Amino acid sequence: MCGIVGYTGTKQAYPIIIKGLKRLEYRGYDSTGVALLNSGLKVFKKKGKVAELEETLVGEDLHGFAGIGHTRWATHGEPNDQNAHPHQSSSGKLAMIHNGIIENYASLKKELISKGYNFTSDTDSEVLLNFIEEIKTKNNCDLEEAIRIALKRVVGAYVILLIDEDNPGTIIAARKGSPLVIGIGKNEHFLGSDASPMLEYTKEVVYVNDYELAIVKPNELILKNLGNEILTPFVQKLDIELAAIEKGGFDYFMLKEIYEQPTTIFDCLRGRLDVENGTIQMAGVQDNLDKLINANRIIILACGTSWHAGLIAEYIFEELCRTSVEVEYASEFRYRNPIIIPGDVIIAISQSGETADTLVAIENAKEKGAFIFGIVNVVGSSIARTSHAGAYTHAGSEIGVASTKAFTAQLAVLTMVALKIAKEKNTISNERYRSCLNELNDVPVKVSKILESNDLIKSIAEKYKNFTNFLYLGRGYNFPIALEGALKLKEISYIHASGYPAAEMKHGPIALVDDSLPVVFIATKDSNIEKTISNMQEIKARKGKIISIITENDESAISVSNELIAVPAADEIVAPMLNVIPLQLLAYYIGIAKGCDVDKPRNLAKSVTVE
Ligand code: F6R
């Protein structure tokens, strides 16, 4: 979490940094700050979003050919002006931005206070900065050396960018556990938490690895490890276009990303699914078929929406591949002492590829000998690089904080992986296999059809926007979709919502039901539909308001529903990719109707790089 940007070169740094921060606001938006090296060091920072800082800086001297900028997601210390980054060292000569958490900051702070240091913020970051300055002064060494010594004593995760008034033009960066990309331009370099701040300037980037330190000047990039050995930067070509990170005429990224799903699912299937020849080409699966087919057990690790995709995968893998599957919250798994036995395969699912809990959980499992298969959206991200093999979801940049298109792309990849394993394992009949390939192939067109219900869903949202609690219910493959629908509503509109398996409703939540409770049923035609209809009757008998997602031309739920949203008929293994679309739109329009900033819901950040 937190977005970091840096620039050193021949252009004015401020406009590049501000534009970059706006692109990184998905990572946090509690406060914003910029430090510039002009004649001397200048720091401007403020509680609030980037645009708010920008407004207050009109008329200021913002010249400078080097600078750093930060958009914060608060961990230590409330969001206020003092806790905003960049922090300045006690001498006032150094400025630093930080993404991550310094776990041993309290003991370092005590040590520094005993040496006479004062602190102006409550942050762990200011402690690290003064610790670096203390080492620099005490050892009479340069900043680079001081950083190296300091980082050897630091416990935690970080990306830090430092500038020094005495050394204008140089940015020193270091990383452990949080992402850092350096863009290489002509007589200029860009730094960012991801590549979005540099897209219009360069396509050549270096992904910095953990325990590496970069000394970045306009004409020079030196990469070293913490042992001071020089490393050769591995320069990669970006294949993201600027248009992919712009709103393209939509009011919000979330709506744009919901509407992109026919294309993103198609892109995900393209080149992999060959319906005519009945094949699925996935190099990551093909090269590791032995491990995947003979897996003793598959453990799926993920968080949030990605975890919901994992739950659906559990149903799919068990049905098609007859492999035993466990789906775990990465945040719980990593703090247990899980039993990993030879033959266990871990599937890690992550949009960002940077979620700290998922990353550490797979590192732990890897140490215990598990084979790690990553399903990740962001190319070159930490989880992608830590996995032994994997498959990208190819959903393109997802900027809206609530995950939408990444989720459906994860489901498309997971379904293909399961089908491929099932085919090789012979746990699926040829007829069912062929029919599943066709069903998958039809998903993009069916998603386009569902998007035509936009106006209907918007009117339902308008009608229900003032209810304060929602229940989402579904069975089988639709139970994780109930969880996902409830999560979307919570995060986007701040309305409390719970997802449950429809049958579990009788074991507690039914006590909540009266005419003030809308209940969203995912009641599409599947093997459990009659049972779901009985649950709907139970809600209706208690005057709950029923909003139903049903299959086109299926009349079974009509008489029990207050509102109906129809989706095309589909096999139950691909139905989740369709059924989630109306729920994404419902959450979006309720959020909009309530005046919420749906792209930047309060307290959230897109990439959760802290534990
Ligand atoms: C919800 C949402 C989060 C993420 C979760 C995991 O809309 O976006 O719940 O799904 O933080 O993130 P990734 O997939 O990047 O590991």
CA 151, chain centre distance (Å): 27
Phi-psi region of 28 (alpha: psi -120 to 50; beta: other; left: phi over 0): left
Minimum CA distance residue for ligand 1 atom 4: 304
| Residue 528 near residue 557 (C-beta atoms within 8 A) | no
Amino acid letter, residue 378? V
Cα of 322 vs centre of ligand 1, distance in Å, is 28
Binned at pLDDT 50, 70 and 90, residue 610 comes out as low
Mean pLDDT computed over every residue of the chain: 94
pLDDT digits (tens, 9 = 90+) for 48-58: 999 999 999 99
pLDDT attached to residue 336: 86
Binned at pLDDT 50, 70 and 90, residue 506 comes out as confident
**449 tagged catalytic:** no
Q: Could you please report the per-residue DSSP string of 405-436?
A: HHHHHHHHHHHHHHHHHHHHHT-S-HHHHHHH
Cα of 349 vs centre of ligand 1, distance in Å, is 10
Cα of 245 vs centre of ligand 1, distance in Å, is 18
Tokens standing for residue 63: 């010249």
pLDDT attached to residue 157: 86
Cα of 306 vs centre of ligand 1, distance in Å, is 6
| Residue 552 near residue 568 (C-beta atoms within 8 A) | yes
Amino acid letter, residue 356? A
| Spatial separation of the C-alpha atoms in residues 491 and 499, rounded to whole Å | 14
Mutate to test the pocket of ligand 1, among 26, 73, 351 (most ligand atoms within 8 A of CB): 351
pLDDT attached to residue 527: 87
Three-class SS state of 309: helix
pLDDT digits (tens, 9 = 90+) for 429-451: 999 999 999 999 999 999 999 99
| Residue 144 near residue 213 (C-beta atoms within 8 A) | yes
Phi-psi region of 40 (alpha: psi -120 to 50; beta: other; left: phi over 0): left
pLDDT attached to residue 391: 96
| Spatial separation of the C-alpha atoms in residues 577 and 253, rounded to whole Å | 20
* Arithmetic mean of pLDDT, 556-568: 95
Atom index in ligand 1 nearest the CA of residue 607 equals 15
What ranges make up the beta strands (E) of 122-242? Answer: 156-164, 171-176, 181-184, 189-192, 204-207, 212-217, 220-225, 230-231, 235-237
Cα of 286 vs centre of ligand 1, distance in Å, is 28
* Arithmetic mean of pLDDT, 92-115: 94
Those residues with Cβ within 8 angstroms of residue 121's Cβ, 6 or more apart along the chain or in another chain:
77, 82, 83, 87
Provide CATH 3.40.50.10490 ranges for the chain. 248-441, 452-599
Cα of 325 vs centre of ligand 1, distance in Å, is 21
The pLDDT of residue 246 is above 90:
no
Mutate to test the pocket of ligand 1, among 355, 357, 600 (most ligand atoms within 8 A of CB): 355
* Arithmetic mean of pLDDT, 73-92: 92
CATH superfamily ID and name for 248-441: Glucose-6-phosphate isomerase like protein; domain 1 (3.40.50.10490)
Helices (H), 94-123: 105-114
pLDDT attached to residue 238: 86
| Residue 601 near residue 401 (C-beta atoms within 8 A) | yes
| Spatial separation of the C-alpha atoms in residues 72 and 3, rounded to whole Å | 7
The pLDDT of residue 168 is above 70:
yes
Cα of 350 vs centre of ligand 1, distance in Å, is 7
Which entry of 2, 268, 321, 436 is annotated as an active-site residue?
2
First to last CA, the chain: 10
| Spatial separation of the C-alpha atoms in residues 40 and 505, rounded to whole Å | 64
Atom index in ligand 1 nearest the CA of residue 355 equals 16
Distances (CA, A) of 327 to 306, 313, 349, 413: 11, 9, 11, 17
Minimum CA distance residue for ligand 1 atom 5: 304
Atom index in ligand 1 nearest the CA of residue 303 equals 6
Those residues with Cβ within 8 angstroms of residue 320's Cβ, 6 or more apart along the chain or in another chain:
418, 419, 421, 422, 427, 428, 436, 573
| Spatial separation of the C-alpha atoms in residues 576 and 522, rounded to whole Å | 10
Q: Give residues (CB < 6 A) around ligand 1.
A: 303-306, 350-352, 355, 358, 402-403, 487, 491, 608
pLDDT above 90: percentage of residues in the chain: 86
Exposed, middle or buried, 244 (CB in 10 Å: 0-12/13-18/19+)?
middle
Minimum CA distance residue for ligand 1 atom 9: 304
Tokens standing for residue 65: 């050919």
Amino acid letter, residue 276? E
- DSSP class of 62: -
Those residues with Cβ within 8 angstroms of residue 137's Cβ, 6 or more apart along the chain or in another chain:
91
| Spatial separation of the C-alpha atoms in residues 99 and 193, rounded to whole Å | 9
Does the pTM of the predicted model rise above 0.85? no
| Residue 352 near residue 607 (C-beta atoms within 8 A) | yes
**Higher pLDDT, residue 604 or 381:** 381
pLDDT attached to residue 92: 95
pLDDT above 70: percentage of residues in the chain: 99
Minimum CA distance residue for ligand 1 atom 11: 304
Those residues with Cβ within 8 angstroms of residue 34's Cβ, 6 or more apart along the chain or in another chain:
14, 17, 18, 21, 43, 44, 45, 53, 67, 68, 69, 70, 86
| Spatial separation of the C-alpha atoms in residues 28 and 75, rounded to whole Å | 11
pLDDT attached to residue 379: 86
Phi-psi region of 104 (alpha: psi -120 to 50; beta: other; left: phi over 0): alpha
Three-class SS state of 97: strand
Cis peptide preceding 86, ω within 30 of 0 = yes
Cα of 376 vs centre of ligand 1, distance in Å, is 11
Minimum CA distance residue for ligand 1 atom 16: 350
Specify the pairing of strand 87-88 against strand 94-102: antiparallel
**596 tagged catalytic:** no
CA dihedral 603, 607, 609, 611 (to 10 degrees): 50
Binned at pLDDT 50, 70 and 90, residue 250 comes out as very high
Mutate to test the pocket of ligand 1, among 1, 300, 305 (most ligand atoms within 8 A of CB): 305
- DSSP class of 44: E
pLDDT digits (tens, 9 = 90+) for 356-365: 999 999 999 9
Amino acid letter, residue 240? I
Mutate to test the pocket of ligand 1, among 306, 357, 386 (most ligand atoms within 8 A of CB): 306
| Spatial separation of the C-alpha atoms in residues 484 and 112, rounded to whole Å | 46
Q: Could you please report the per-residue DSSP string of 149-177?
A: HHHHH--EEEEEEEEETTSTT-EEEEEEB
Q: What number does CATH give the domain 452-599?
A: 3.40.50.10490
Q: Which of 257, 252, 259 is closest to 592 using CA atoms?
A: 252
Q: Could you please report the per-residue DSSP string of 237-278?
A: E----GGGGS-TT-SSHHHHHHHTHHHHHHHHHTTTEETTTT
Provide CATH 3.60.20.10 ranges for the chain. 3-238
HEC secondary structure over 457-490: HHHHHHHHCCCCEEEEEECHHHHHHHHHHHHHHH
Atom index in ligand 1 nearest the CA of residue 352 equals 15
pLDDT attached to residue 333: 92
Which entry of 45, 46, 136, 606 is annotated as an active-site residue?
606
Token pair 């040496």: residue: 115
Q: Which CATH number does the domain 3-238 belong to among 3.60.20.10, 3.40.190.10, 3.40.640.10, 4.10.520.10? A: 3.60.20.10
Minimum CA distance residue for ligand 1 atom 7: 402
pLDDT digits (tens, 9 = 90+) for 290-309: 999 999 999 999 999 999 99
The pLDDT of residue 207 is above 90:
yes
| Residue 37 near residue 165 (C-beta atoms within 8 A) | yes
Binned at pLDDT 50, 70 and 90, residue 321 comes out as very high
| Spatial separation of the C-alpha atoms in residues 548 and 543, rounded to whole Å | 15
Atom index in ligand 1 nearest the CA of residue 358 equals 16
Cα of 303 vs centre of ligand 1, distance in Å, is 6
Q: 252 phi and psi, to 5 degrees? A: -135, 150
